[in-house]
Chain A
Amino acid sequence: MIAGSPPRRKTPAAICLIGLALGFLCIFLLLPLLTVFVEALSKGLGPFLEALAEPDALSAIRLTLLVAAIAVPLNVAFGLAASWAIAKFDFPGRSVLVTFIDLPFSVSPVVAGLVYILLFGMNGLLGPVLREYDIQIIFAVPGIVLATVFVTFPFVARELIPLMQEQGRDDEEAALSLGATGFQTFCKVTLPNIRWGLLYGVLLCNARAMGEFGAVSVVSGHLRGLTNTMPLHVEILYNEYNFVAAFAVASLLALLALVTLVVKTALEWRFSYVRQGAGS
């Protein structure tokens, strides 16, 4: 507390509200998270590690990493392009584009998965063509990647559009007037201006890409060791009453969430520091 500031009196109402918020936090966030780790380690460290080293679990972890490794860069590329276009240029249909970017947020992930089945499934719209060339998308890795890209679509763009709009076009125009090419302007001026926001978007996008359940569940087919991602693997283990293994894999996902939160907080702190430090 700042020296000299009057002591804040805690009224009953304030105590009630704080208690309510803390209680809510404990029951709905902290307790479940704790349960995951307690349950995972309930039989000791041995079974925990065993569950993670099991081939199906390893393959699920590998697939999840692969999907994230494809979906996140795709979203970065798209998010950059979209936010650059929306923030720095005037063109007809700009607001329509913004609405479309938000679509995955408003559509249930299950619907997103079903849409891909209707499109790429054996009996789907493009089914005959895919069969002809022997390409399998549904119940295979490409389908999982597609579903994940759809669900994580808005993360990077949503983060960058307001940031870039706030920064305006002056810096870019200044760079151009000094003889920089469009590419130089992007690399030397735009990218450094948005780097923290971009990193933040990537982080959120990654967390969602690894954790997505609904859409992936619909298109995956749940083939053990082949098309199971970590969240799907957790569900299967749980349904088989293999609680220790289920929670062991789940604890990895929870850990990912915790790391994401820590990095995000660090970034936010750094972000506001940089912005304030830049003044004006």
Chain B
Amino acid sequence: MITLESITKRFATFEALKSIDLKVRDGEFLALLGPSGSGKTTLLRIIAGLAFPDAGRVRFEGEDVTHLAVAQRQVGFVFQHYALFKHMTVAENVGFGLSVRPRGQLPGKTEIRKRALELLDLVQLADLGNRYPGQLSGGQRQRVALARALAVEPKLLLLDEPFGALDAKVRKDLRRWLRTLHEQMGLTSIFVTHDQDEALELADRVAVMDHGVIEQVGTPDQIYMHPHSGFVSDFVGDTNSLPVDMVGGTATFHGQSIFTHIGALAEGAARLDFRPHDVTIADDSDGCLPIVVSAAYRKGGVWRVEGQLAGKAAPIEVDIDSGAPRPQPGQRLALKIERAQIFSRQAAA
């Protein structure tokens, strides 16, 4: 178990992390998700021991490691740009961690090479041991970096934007492969990403960060279906948000009631968020949202419809079953919101 207790970090006047608390369970695959500047990489570096907090504690299995250097923490760190040693072969790169062990624990040359080749086998690059990093593709470099990090048998694997520099197809394959590897090796892994798809697909739990605070921690399902804040709702997945007035448990938009399945919530100005797929087409009746279609295109198995709403300039995006005919620009649709999140104005601000 990794425990972070009120971690605070400042760079000159910029507050990168504001009293972060987080627990990571053994064997868990955790994503730190956030936009750039949210502090996620700084947090990862503090967990690794590559950076040190101004205040707060880092504990591994209860033991305080806040001031331990990276070498003493037994972590594997995979850098965003891999940081492979250009002048060493792939096998030498992977064996590096073993070759710098102190004299007593230093394995022999053949032993190091054997172990390196085993790891290259694990990352499916067994026959590239004698190449140099400059001769590899991005995806291959990524896997070499991973093998190198695993060579020191870390308890904790930390990955900084592991797929950031790869193209879409390679990224998808590698994601799946990494997930399998994580499960096989029984590691605890934490990775940083700004890509919500990546976080939702890979992680057991996701910590959504913004401006140096963790906005929400939860399973991908919780994060997507029950965002705690307007930021999370906005950042994770596509969201439409409308300014509404709450009157007696009903959300009204420009005087018209548009959503009613609401529990006890404060009265007054609020923000209503709904996903593109949280709507159905209704007959023009009460409690519906009328939109004028401006464009519609196929998005997988649905029509993604962009429309304008009366009294709101920003477009609304909704998904409509593609069994129906494709909506035409100019057409009017009445939407019924089936699910929505309400954030009171103060919280959303």
Q: Do A and B bind each other?
A: yes
Residues from chain B with a CB closer than 8 A to the CB of A178 are 71, 96-97, 100, 148-149, 151-152
Query: Interface size class for chain B?
Result: 20 to 34
A175: CB under 8 A from chain B? yes
B81 lies within 8 A of A280 (CB): yes
B151 lies within 8 A of A170 (CB): no
Interface set, chain A 154-204, CB cutoff 8 A to B: 170-171, 173-181, 184, 188-189, 192-193
Residues from chain A with a CB closer than 8 A to the CB of B141 are 280
A177 lies within 8 A of B96 (CB): no
A177 lies within 8 A of B87 (CB): no
Residues from chain B with a CB closer than 8 A to the CB of A280 are 81, 133-134, 141
A189 lies within 8 A of B85 (CB): yes
CA A184 to CA B103, docked complex, whole Å: 13
Among residues of B, the one whose C-beta sits closest to the C-beta of A279 is: B134
B133 lies within 8 A of A278 (CB): yes
CA A213 to CA B50, docked complex, whole Å: 48
Q: A179-B100, A181-B71, A278-B86 are in contact. Are A174 and B77 (CB under 8 A)?
A: yes
Q: A179-B152, A193-B87 are in contact. Are A277 and B134 (CB under 8 A)?
A: yes
Residues from chain B with a CB closer than 8 A to the CB of A171 are 83, 85
B50 lies within 8 A of A177 (CB): yes
A188 CB to closest chain B CB, in angstroms?
7
B39 CB to closest chain A CB, in angstroms?
18
CA A249 to CA B148, docked complex, whole Å: 56
A199 CB to closest chain B CB, in angstroms?
14
Among residues of A, the one whose C-beta sits closest to the C-beta of B81 is: A170
Interface 1/0s, chain B 109-123, versus A by CB < 8 A? 000000000000000
| Most chain A beta-carbon contacts within 10 A, residue among B50, B84, B96 | B96
Interface set, chain B 228-276, CB cutoff 8 A to A: none
CA A96 to CA B26, docked complex, whole Å: 47
CA A174 to CA B75, docked complex, whole Å: 11
CA A192 to CA B87, docked complex, whole Å: 7
B70: CB under 8 A from chain A? yes
Among residues of A, the one whose C-beta sits closest to the C-beta of B75 is: A177
A188 lies within 8 A of B50 (CB): no
Q: A278-B133, A278-B134 are in contact. Are A180 and B71 (CB under 8 A)?
A: yes
B208 CB to closest chain A CB, in angstroms?
26
Among residues of B, the one whose C-beta sits closest to the C-beta of A191 is: B87
Q: How many residues of A contact B (CB 8 A)?
A: 20
A179 lies within 8 A of B97 (CB): yes
Residues from chain A with a CB closer than 8 A to the CB of B152 are 178-179
Among residues of B, the one whose C-beta sits closest to the C-beta of A276 is: B134
Q: A193-B86, A277-B134, A278-B133 are in contact. Are A176 and B71 (CB under 8 A)?
A: yes
Q: A170-B79, A170-B81, A181-B71 are in contact. Are A175 and B134 (CB under 8 A)?
A: no
CA A277 to CA B134, docked complex, whole Å: 6
Q: A193-B87, A278-B133, A279-B134 are in contact. Are A173 and B79 (CB under 8 A)?
A: yes
B176: CB under 8 A from chain A? no
Interface 1/0s, chain B 36-76, versus A by CB < 8 A? 00000000000011100000000000000000011100011
A173 lies within 8 A of B70 (CB): yes
CA A184 to CA B134, docked complex, whole Å: 23
CA A188 to CA B96, docked complex, whole Å: 9
Residues from chain A with a CB closer than 8 A to the CB of B149 are 177-178
CA A278 to CA B77, docked complex, whole Å: 22
B101 lies within 8 A of A177 (CB): no
CA A184 to CA B40, docked complex, whole Å: 30
Residues from chain B with a CB closer than 8 A to the CB of A177 are 48-50, 70-71, 75-77, 149
B100 lies within 8 A of A180 (CB): yes
Residues from chain A with a CB closer than 8 A to the CB of B133 are 278-280
CA A277 to CA B133, docked complex, whole Å: 10
A173's partner among B77, B135, B151 (CB-CB below 8 A) is B77
Residues from chain A with a CB closer than 8 A to the CB of B132 are 277-278
B97 lies within 8 A of A170 (CB): no
B96 lies within 8 A of A175 (CB): yes
CA A280 to CA B79, docked complex, whole Å: 14
B71 lies within 8 A of A179 (CB): yes
Residues from chain A with a CB closer than 8 A to the CB of B96 are 175, 178, 180, 188
Residues from chain A with a CB closer than 8 A to the CB of B101 are 179
A170's partner among B49, B71, B75, B83 (CB-CB below 8 A) is B83
B134 CB to closest chain A CB, in angstroms?
4
Interface set, chain B 325-346, CB cutoff 8 A to A: none
A279 CB to closest chain B CB, in angstroms?
4
CA A193 to CA B83, docked complex, whole Å: 12
Interface 1/0s, chain B 98-112, versus A by CB < 8 A? 001100000000000
B79's partner among A174, A181, A189, A278 (CB-CB below 8 A) is A174
Q: A189-B85, A278-B134, A279-B134 are in contact. Are A173 and B97 (CB under 8 A)?
A: no
Q: Which residues of B contact A (CB under 8 A)?
A: 48-50, 69-71, 75-77, 79, 81, 83-87, 96-97, 100-101, 132-135, 141, 148-149, 151-152
The 4 closest A-B pairs by CB, nearest first: A178-B97, A170-B83, A174-B83, A180-B100
A–B complex contacts, Cβ < 8 Å, 13 sampled: A173-B50, A173-B77, A174-B79, A174-B85, A175-B96, A177-B70, A178-B96, A178-B97, A178-B148, A180-B100, A188-B85, A188-B100, A279-B135
Extra contacts, 4 of them, besides A177-B77, A179-B97, A277-B134 (Cβ < 8 A), are A174-B83, A177-B76, A188-B100, A278-B134
